[in-house]
Amino acid sequence: MQSQEIQSIFWKVSACFCFVGINALIKALQLPMLQIIGLEHAFGAFFLWPWLPKVPTALFKNLLCWGRALVSFLGVILWVYALKKLSLFQSVALGFLGPVSTAFGAWFFLGENVTKKRIWAIGLGIIGGIFMSHSPGGNKTTIGPHTTTTLLYVFPFLAPLMATLFFSTTNLMSKALLSRIHPLVSTFILLCMLGILGLLASYSTFIIPSWAQWQLIIGLGGLSAIAHLCLNQAMHRADVMFLIPIGAIRLIASAFMGWCFFGEVLTPMLGVGAIFLLSALLLLIQEGRKKQSSLVQID
């Protein structure tokens, strides 16, 4: 294994632990969702600002930067919504359905060839999602007597999946930007833009936080800055496909964090569902690497 790959593993693992801490703080904060998003990223940008040799004002006119921020913003909204409705473990585990749904969409909508591994991955992913969605542990949605048969019940389980698709797009856009700008600058710009979008969107519902909430928000901003910086450093050193399996660390850390601070119990159904989802993800990664190696041989 090359030194660049070893460094990327270190940065990715660090990012995973930071994101688990972010998830826990978001779940603990009792403030409007958009306000949490705005303050988190605004403080994150504030913490990174002193380390910049020069504020890259020209990038605030870059359409790719704003496009990345908007896609990421939509993903963060869906993710925070899921965290408020589900357990930490459920939210993170269901997020791993993203690559599975992409494979299914490529077959169903684009007519791409489906190998045996892809069929198995799609099947395992669906089974895993069913196990996760029928497991207790999240907040109960009490909209009405027929909630269980409506989209209002299903949506919290779909939110992590949709958020992951937005985050995957964000990562690809970040990868494109990292070929031109430093990871620190890329992180700062993203946090700034997310802070601006969040605070503007939360203007009408903004609530002055208590002192205890301010402490959580400051910690959230610090973790957000470190997490995004670590993630950009990892992507700067390795391919996205290489880094995906390392994200499984978040499952273990989320289960522990949920148990310690929120009294969440890891039920057998949650554990079985997570195994199915991770198995599906590993099959897709193997398939992707096999396809990539065959293309290299052809060249």
pLDDT tens digits for range 266-287: 778 878 887 887 787 777 667 6
* CA distance readout (Å), 3 to 10, 112, 187, 251: 11, 36, 23, 26
Q: Which own/partner pairs from 16-21 qualify as long-range (CB within 8 Å, at least 24 positions apart)?
A: 16/246, 16/247, 16/249, 16/250, 16/253, 17/249, 17/253, 18/223, 18/224, 18/226, 18/227, 18/230, 19/227, 19/250, 20/88, 20/92, 20/250, 20/253, 20/254, 20/257, 21/223, 21/257
SS3 269: helix
pLDDT at residue 23 above 70? yes
Per the model's pLDDT, the better-predicted residue between 188 and 134 turns out to be: 188
State residue 32's pLDDT score. Answer: 94
Contact between 253 and 16 (Cβ < 8 Å): yes
Phi-psi sector, 298: left (phi>0), alpha (psi -120 to 50), beta: alpha
Of residues 77 and 133, more confidence is placed in 77
User: Distance (Å, rounded) from C-alpha 52 to C-alpha 184?
Assistant: 8
- Per-residue confidence (pLDDT) for residue 240, from 0 to 100: 63
In percent, how much of the chain has pLDDT > 90?
32
Cβ partners under 8 Å of residue 114, min gap 6: 107, 122
The predicted structure's pLDDT at residue 41: 95
- pTM: predicted TM-score of the whole model, two decimal places: 0.77
- Please, are residues 174 and 71 in contact by the beta-carbon 8 Å criterion? no
- Report how far Cα 159 is from the mean position of its chain's Cα atoms: 11
- DSSP structure class, residue 209: P
SS3 of 187-198: the string is HHHHHHHHHHHH
Element (H, E) at 92: helix 88-95
Label residue 59 by pLDDT band (50, 70, 90).
Answer: confident
Over residues 93-119, mean pLDDT: 67
pLDDT value, residue 105: 62
Instruction: List Cα–Cα distances, 269 to 39, 68, 90, 275, in angstroms.
Output: 36, 36, 11, 10
For residues 183 and 231, is the Cβ–Cβ distance under 8 A? no
